[in-house]
Chain A
Amino acid sequence: MTRIVSVELLLLGKRASTWILLGIWAALALTFAYVVPYVQYTNDPTRTSLSDLLPESLVGTLMAGFPFFGGVLALMLGVLTVGSEYGWGTLRTLFTQGPGRLQVFGAKLIALAVALAVFVLVAYALGAVSSSAIAAAEGADVAWPSAWLLVRGLAGGWLIFAAWAALGMLLAVLTRGTALATGIGILYAFVVEGLLSALAGEISILDRLVEFFVRANGYSLVAVLGVSPDDVGDRGPGSFSGPFVAGGQATLVLAAYTAAFVLVAALLLRRRDVV
């Protein structure tokens, strides 16, 4: 298994689209967490709190982007990891080499999990550098979040990504490709979850439904880690104003989604004909 996981890591690592997604993620995370708020702060110090941009707020500041554009990018990475194999026809090449279908899928899954961890670590590394640079520029004291909060932040970020990426994988297996899977995934994230979440405040029956949405649980998880609900409530298409659930429930729901998406994708991949 280690052997084929290393191959899958090689395949992800040599793919331009992996690096493009990582670049977009890094740029968006940096821009919306630090660059734009810092420009706002320098223009009008009353609009943005400097403490949010310092290392001590690293986790809370960074995590706001995970359930929104980060999740969509993770979904795309999940789609590409499996969906491209259908487009190129390489799935049938892999399935005739010897390892069983579930082993192939497992290797892809592990490689994707590693790639998602890299995405999270890159965001945190950039956040650490940026917040340190702002602290130095403003002459502020540098204090880092506790190790426990950092670990929870890293794990929470990875879990949010994992849920979206697993959904991407499932959509890719269902549609046997990338284009339709990506389209459906983005449509679901923005239109279904986004619009229904926005309407939840007005239609009470939607409240219970929205509590089980991926993005609602993602936002609930980051809220526990220090993201203020106010920070995500007024950000255009990524805005989310509730309902929020408890951190433990959010963790469980996201983990359950990840497991369910992976399980269904694995069963379909194992049972269906590969042409």
Chain B
Amino acid sequence: MTENTNLVVETNDLGKRYGERIVAVDGLNLEVRRGEVYGFLGPNGAGKTTTLRMLLGLIRPTTGSALVLGAAPGTPEGLGRVGALIETPTFYPYLSGRDNLRVLARYAGVPETRIATVLEEVDLTARAGDRFRTYSLGMKQRLGIAAALLKDPELLILDEPTNGMDPVGIAEMRPFIRSLGRGERTVLLSSHLMSEVEQVADRVGVISRGRLVAEGTVDELRGREGLWLRAEPLGEAERLLGSLRGVQEVARGGGGLRIAAEPAAAPTINRALVEAGIAVSELRPERASLEKVFLELTSEQEAA
């Protein structure tokens, strides 16, 4: 594999198989660009965590290869510039949050002055002296993010970082993750929560059954914006819309009509419907949510 300096993560037919029957990751080709927040989406068991573990050298791939910051996964050259939180944060239960970070700082060769900074960043300074075993799940998650930030890494790998957080914590985490991705730092964010990824990611890759089934910006994946209509009688509205200029497609769904047309055409469509004696009760712009796209993509893969 040749190194592309703009790519922070590059995998080539990466695969992981357990025995003959279980294929966790199947020929994955992933490209994460420098400075972006890359959302890695997939249902539970799709192979997200296995992929991230392979990128960190914790798991050896059975096929293919990967480069992380130009180095083979798990090598000191790469790991020294990567911060990671994989699944649930794992720390020494008998040590305080601060002492746990001290252990990791010494392991990573990071000045201990960074500890106070990252604790402040995740708002954990007040409880930093308490033992890890006394932390709530949300606090453990925040300590995990603090640990990942300790090296001030070029690449931050976060696997389900809002696990266990309450709604307020999740809402606070979104701009925080967004801010982490500013500048040169790259964030690889794995999640099964669409709204979480939709609001923070520059690009998204969708994985299902170990394979990448779609990749692009959030807008690209959601497709073009259209219109949603509720009217009476619906059949007559459908026939009329089919003959109107600027309407590419009309489809029934959810008790109304989905219209493939520019949202700017809404006044023209409304006027045509009203002049034809059709009662319009709702006409609004509509765009497929990432969740809908995700469900379609992953169900297609399941069916295949």
Contact = CB atoms under 8 A, between A and B. Distances in A.
A104 B60 CA distance: 18
Nearest to A274: B58
Given A3-B106, A4-B106, A6-B106, A96 B91 contact: no
Given A97-B104, A99-B76, A275 B90 contact: no
Interface residues of A, number: 25
Given A88-B90, A88-B91, A275-B58, A99 B107 contact: yes
A100 B76 contact: yes
A94 interface: yes
A152 B276 CA distance: 107
Interface stretch (B93-101, B219-227, B295-303): B93-101
B196 to A, nearest CB: 23
Contact of A7 (B60, B91, B107): B107
Contacts of A275: 53, 58-59
Contact of B95 (A14, A92, A96, A97): A14
B92 interface: yes
Interface string B43-77: 00000000001001111100000000000001110
Contacts of A10: 99, 103
Contact of B94 (A16, A92, A98): A16
A11 B107 contact: no
Contacts of A4: 106-107
A95 B76 contact: no
B152 to A, nearest CB: 13
Contacts of A94: 104, 107
B90 A92 contact: yes
B28 interface: no
Pick from A14, A95, A96 the residue with the most CB of B within 10 Å. Answer: A96
A273 B58 CA distance: 6
A46 interface: no
A89 B144 CA distance: 13
Contacts of B58: 92, 95-96, 273-275
A90 interface: yes
Given A11-B103, A14-B95, A88-B91, A98 B59 contact: no
Contact of A14 (B84, B91, B99): B99
Interface in A226-275: 273-275
18 contacts: A4-B106, A6-B106, A7-B103, A11-B92, A11-B95, A15-B94, A88-B91, A89-B88, A93-B91, A95-B58, A96-B82, A96-B86, A97-B108, A97-B151, A98-B79, A99-B76, A274-B59, A275-B59
